[in-house]
Structure 1
Amino acid sequence: MTSTADLYDERAADLDSLSLQLRDFGGRRTFHGPIRTVRCSRDNALVKAMLATPGAGAVLVVDGGGSLASALVGDLIAASAVDNGWAGIIVHGAIRDSEAIGMLPLGVKALGTNPRKSAKDGVGEVDVAVEIDGVVFRPGAHVWCDPDGVLTER
């Protein structure tokens, strides 16, 4: 994959750059793919359900509203993503089991960690446009991630 810096230099007019500083947690720090989305608040049932389906190299963008109050992804959900062919997960919120997730061949970016579990009620929305720090992530658009940041198609 071309670095996000080089890609931005080539296609600045077509791309948005996420200025929010996410941390890298997965075993792959460079990943990209078509976007799928989940919007949820302290409830990861939809995240778990989505990552249990064939990912075909997609990246799941999870808009948890920036809450660090409970984790939206843990090691079991991340392992399911690997088993189902997902390229990565971007979480605007917290994850847990970060050391185990770091051993998986999966890209994972998140705001931070919290060992607290989230609810499992299935409240939220799937495959809707989500806005994180002024950048809109649209289902089907492409996203690129590396240690320098996150780019998505406008």
Structure 2
Amino acid sequence: MTPTTDICDAHEDKIAAGTLRVVEPMFQSWGMKAQFMGQAHTLKVFEDNSLVRSALEKDGQGKVLVVDGGGSMRCALVGGNLGMLAQNNNWAGIVVYGCVRDTLELDECDVGIRALGTHPMKSQKRGTGHENVDVALSVTTVRPGNWIYVDEDGVLVSDEPLSV
């Protein structure tokens, strides 16, 4: 994967036009993949990870699950079991605007994971939320099908696939 720094340098015009967006630096990293990319599959949930599980049960080849958890720091939306599910179903990665748990287990998963932080409590299981809708990572909008590029330097969201 091309480094996010090189993508930014090569596509300054897209950044200026708003078709390539740099997510503000706020994420911590887990999982074995420090770098990952793919098309966004989006979820909007709040303290309920039922839709996260159902999404990760599907084939994720070439996709990044982007979870807008409302920035909640009161429970975890992804844990070790869901990390293994993501790995086993070929997801490129998971970006969570919220928390994760079971971080030692997540670090053993062959998938990239970004989240705001950790929390030991599990989420509710009410089956609430929305799938394949525009979501927010703080002030950055992610639409279903956008391209997500993640590495040690940051998270990028593009309206189209990019190359350098």
When normalised by structure 1's length, the TM-score is 0.97
Aligned length: 154
Equivalent of 1:131, from 129, 132, 136? 136
Alpha-carbon offset, residue 13 of structure 1? 2.7
Alpha-carbon offset, residue 27 of structure 1? 1.1
Q: CA RMSD in A?
A: 0.9
Equivalent of 2:100, from 92, 95, 101? 95
Asked if structure 1 preserves the Cα contact closer than 8 Å seen for 2:97 and 2:138, the reply is: no
One-letter identity of the residue aligned with 1:100: E
CA distance in 2, matches of 1:24, 1:42: 20
CA distance in 2, matches of 1:66, 1:44: 14
Deviations 1:40-88 (A, max 9, x none): 0000000000000011120000000111100000010110111111000
CA distance in 2, matches of 1:12, 1:66: 28
Alpha-carbon offset, residue 26 of structure 1? 1.3
CA distance in 2, matches of 1:20, 1:71: 20
Equivalent of 1:25, from 21, 30, 35? 30
Partner SS state of residue 48, structure 1: helix
| Alignment match, 1:50 | 55
Partner SS state of residue 77, structure 1: helix
Query: Is 1:13 paired with 2:22?
Result: no
| Alignment match, 1:152 | 157
CA distance in 1, matches of 2:10, 2:106: 32
Q: List structure 1 runs of 4+ shifted beyond 2 angstroms.
A: none
For structure 1, list consecutive stretches of 5 or more residues without a partner in the other structure. none
Alpha-carbon offset, residue 11 of structure 1? 1.4
One-letter identity of the residue aligned with 1:7: I
Identity %: 40
For structure 2, list consecutive stretches of 5 or more residues without a partner in the other structure. 15-19, 160-164
One-letter identity of the residue aligned with 2:31: G
CA distance in 1, matches of 2:12, 2:24: 14
When normalised by structure 2's length, the TM-score is 0.91
Asked if structure 2 preserves the Cα contact closer than 8 Å seen for 1:20 and 1:133, the reply is: no
| Alignment match, 2:17 | none
